[in-house]
Structure 1
Amino acid sequence: MQNNPAVIIEGTTVVFGDRLERASVRIEDGRITGIDGARDGADVVNGRGHLLGPAFVDIHGDAFERQVMPRPGTMLPVAAALLETDRQLAANGIATAYHALTLSWEPGLRSVETGYAIVRALDTLTPRLTVDNRVQLRWETFCFEAVDLIREALAGPRLPSIAFNDHTSMVMLHPSIPLQERPFDLDPAFPIVDPETPSFTEKMAERAKRAKIPVADMVALVRSMWERRPQVPDAIEEVAALGKAAGAPMLSHDDSQIETRDFFRQRGARICEFPMNRRVARAARDAGDFIVFGAPNATRGGSHLASIGAADMIREGLCDILASDYYYPAMLLGLARLKADGVAPLHALWPLVSGNPAQASGLADRGIIEIGKRADLVLVDWPEGGTPAVRRTWVGGREAYRAAPAGELVMA
């Protein structure tokens, strides 16, 4: 990590692990080196009227896809898209981001080919990026072609996470079964739709548009992938073994049955990402797993899929982590909504977007304001009763973002 000049942020209200308190925070050489200490020649940032918290750790964010493909079927250069995404992350106080990179049999945006391009572009762009950009290998379990990419990414300089996804079974699910209650995906009696029906063809239209192929070709592709189902368990075992060997954090996605959560926990996935009903969330809690919900869910006051609400899960002790999901500003806005709704005090809510995702991801050096920790910090303008806005973001002690509003003097 590069050495940076010593900086003291003064006069701000600091989000500590157990309280909010007015304090000064000193950072140098990428670390927090003092709380309420002497200036000793450090540069001073006037934080009066602002809130200083640990910068956000985003365990799952796929908003970057809108930079790669801003319109369905319209792909833009990957490097430019990632540079723009990096700026958005810093501007939203996110110092560590796991990009939810879908590795699918689907052509186009979520293809293995695009996955290789993004992983390798991040390797090349790292010296130019302002935040810690990593990937969540959001692996579709029917996509055997992605295993070599997973192996390559696990050997890279920034350890990724692995999320086990099965949207293939979701696509094939019989419409009489609610998605939130679908059986264990590997159940031999899994109830499937007739792919010959017009309704199935209609369902595939949006997916075909994203992949830039005719709808009939998408229907045929889905049917051919479903024929792979007998080989899926062995592929899961292989990827889980790769993740374990690398020490990668592993997640299972959209679990609808306790059996599903148990299956992936037994293979090393100790993070339950977006459980689809309370009984799965409770089983995950009883087993000591981390539980993730979407920050947009918290911001909006409910799930866009009519699933369970993040605020309710937090109240019930069934949510440890909020992820940006599809909207980076939701990391901060979700905190604001939860605070306004009286779900918990702000200092108790903040770990949902900082310390807890860092711990779940094996990043013990960040996520909390404490001497010796990495200086990943966010300075927030948060007027009483108003909408909060990020003013500065530091990543490893380096200023990654600064914004001065028109009606305010620039802070030193």
Structure 2
Amino acid sequence: MAWRIENGSTLVDGRWCDGPLYIAGAGLAPAIDGARRLDASGLLILPGIVDIHGDAFERHIMPRPGVRFDTKLALLDTDRQLVANGITTAFHGVTVSWEPGLRSAEAAQAFVQTLTELRDTLACDTRLHLRWETFALDEAVQVARWLELSPAPILAFNDHTTGSVLKGTIARKIGQMAERSGVSRDDYMALLDRVWSRRDAVPAAIEGLAARARAHGNVLLAHDEASPGERTRFRALGAASSEFPLTLDTAEAARAVGEDVILGAPNVVRGGSHNGALDAGDAVRRNLCTVLTSDYHYPSPLYAAFTLAGGDLDKLASLWPLVSGNPARVARLADRGSLRCGQRADLILVDAADMSHPQVVATIVAGEIVYARRALDRDLMSNLAHAAE
């Protein structure tokens, strides 16, 4: 179906344009005669949000410690939440850990299998972000197999083990981690001791998996880098972006050589980090953050961009790449993140009458209206019904 979206303000390459936007099939097209008219009066038309790090789906699987729901049910519900919040591409951050329970290798296997089966039926373009805990040595072989999936997953190196043992930023979460794993604190600590005893094998495992990822063309990220030295180390392994660096000088080291720095949008919305990490809003203002992700809260990418804009539409135009074009670039998705002709038709229509509380009115993924909270023309509901057939 061809669409003509008119009367809105469309963000194209950092500028607001008033002319109509045309969609033909899954892509953005030049003017089309006879296209179905879609009235976007009073709305902003923005490139869809590309979320390259989000694990809020875990709360759909386990909303309370020990209370577990079916993975398919969780993914279907997550999908509805994604598109309702303007996220048109999502990389689900599934952790592959040495822990039992929610982040176990078995849970990851079930998640990957279910997502693979469901993916073509989901409204959001949903992909994998494999968060491999680097001390999960026995799981490295399975992670290497998953790197060959299509579409290619992102691989992130995570080390929450060292912080737990050395009483760094993670240590205070031991009780929460034990509860998540379904074991007592004492049993968790005993398991942690056994895992820590294999620490000398970790560097070689990281290097081996990084080599596999480079050979297959997967995007590599390094999570929670604690120093410029760690940034240098992971850069050499092929991780060209720093994901959630723990220190200001680490972010500065990445940006000094033009690398992307990825932080959480909830940090911006809340006015700071919940665990004492970098202030993402300050990092954006200092050009030390180039990508914002949902992290643990799907509404936050939309709200973060508007929060940083402070009611200024021109500023919003300059900030929107943080949640769309830049993460698309990091994920090597050249077909989305902007509303130029020829790009994939992933876009959202936003009511910004109250810029402190923007509302997604409609979400379009690959030319399909997958979410709408009000009729945009007289025939919209029948169009949606037709599209669902």
Structure 1 residue 89: Cα displacement: 0.7
For 1:411 and 1:171, how far apart are their aligned partners in 2? 57
Q: Residue in 2 aligned with 1:48?
A: 41
Structure 2 letter corresponding to 1:6: A
Structure 1 residue 314: Cα displacement: 1.3
Residues 57 and 353, structure 1, Cα contact 8 Å, conserved in 2:
yes
Residues 56 and 96, structure 1, Cα contact 8 Å, conserved in 2:
yes
Q: How many residues align?
A: 380
Residues 45 and 411, structure 1, Cα contact 8 Å, conserved in 2:
no
Q: Residue in 2 aligned with 1:194?
A: none
Mapping of 1:138-157 within 5 angstroms? 138-157=131-150
For 2:190 and 2:314, how far apart are their aligned partners in 1? 49
Secondary structure of 2:156's counterpart equals: strand
Q: Is 1:129–2:122 an aligned residue pair?
A: yes
For 2:320 and 2:333, how far apart are their aligned partners in 1? 17
When the two structures are superposed, what TM-score results if normalisation uses the length of structure 2? 0.94
Secondary structure of 2:237's counterpart equals: coil
Unaligned residue ranges in structure 1 (runs of 5+) = 181-199
Q: Is 1:217–2:213 an aligned residue pair?
A: no
Q: Structure 1 residues 260 and 58, CA, compared in 2 at 3 Å: closer, same or farther?
A: same
Structure 1 residue 386: Cα displacement: 4.7
Secondary structure of 1:137's counterpart equals: strand
1:347 to 308, 312, 317: 317
Q: Is 1:295–2:278 an aligned residue pair?
A: no
For 1:108 and 1:71, how far apart are their aligned partners in 2? 13
Q: Is 1:363–2:356 an aligned residue pair?
A: no
Q: Residue in 1 aligned with 2:385?
A: none
Structure 1 letter corresponding to 2:225: D
For 2:182 and 2:205, how far apart are their aligned partners in 1? 27
Q: Residue in 2 aligned with 1:21?
A: 17
Residues 59 and 98, structure 1, Cα contact 8 Å, conserved in 2:
yes
Residues 262 and 290, structure 2, Cα contact 8 Å, conserved in 1:
yes
Q: Is 1:164–2:157 an aligned residue pair?
A: yes
Residues 101 and 138, structure 1, Cα contact 8 Å, conserved in 2:
yes
When the two chains are superposed, the root-mean-square deviation of aligned CA atoms in Å is 1.9
1:318 to 274, 288, 293: 288
Q: Is 1:11–2:20 an aligned residue pair?
A: no
Q: Structure 1 residues 365 and 18, CA, compared in 2 at 3 Å: closer, same or farther?
A: same
Q: Residue in 1 aligned with 2:80?
A: 87
For 1:409 and 1:393, how far apart are their aligned partners in 2? 15
Structure 1 residue 146: Cα displacement: 2.1
When the two structures are superposed, what TM-score results if normalisation uses the length of structure 1? 0.88
Tell me the alpha carbon deviations over residues 288-336 of structure 1, each in whole angstroms, 9 at most, x when there is no partner.
2111111111111211122221121111111110000000000111011
For 1:342 and 1:42, how far apart are their aligned partners in 2? 33
Structure 1 residue 149: Cα displacement: 2.5
Identity in percent: 42
Q: Structure 1 residues 386 and 294, CA, compared in 2 at 3 Å: closer, same or farther?
A: closer
Tell me the alpha carbon deviations over residues 180-238 of structure 1, each in whole angstroms, 9 at most, x when there is no partner.
9xxxxxxxxxxxxxxxxxxx7x8532222111112221111000000010000111011
Structure 1 residue 403: Cα displacement: 0.8
Deviates most, 332-341 or 243-252:
332-341
Structure 1 residue 32: Cα displacement: 0.3
For 2:252 and 2:186, how far apart are their aligned partners in 1? 41
Structure 1 residue 409: Cα displacement: 7.9
Residues 5 and 20, structure 2, Cα contact 8 Å, conserved in 1:
yes
Q: Structure 1 residues 9 and 409, CA, compared in 2 at 3 Å: closer, same or farther?
A: closer
Residues 276 and 307, structure 1, Cα contact 8 Å, conserved in 2:
yes
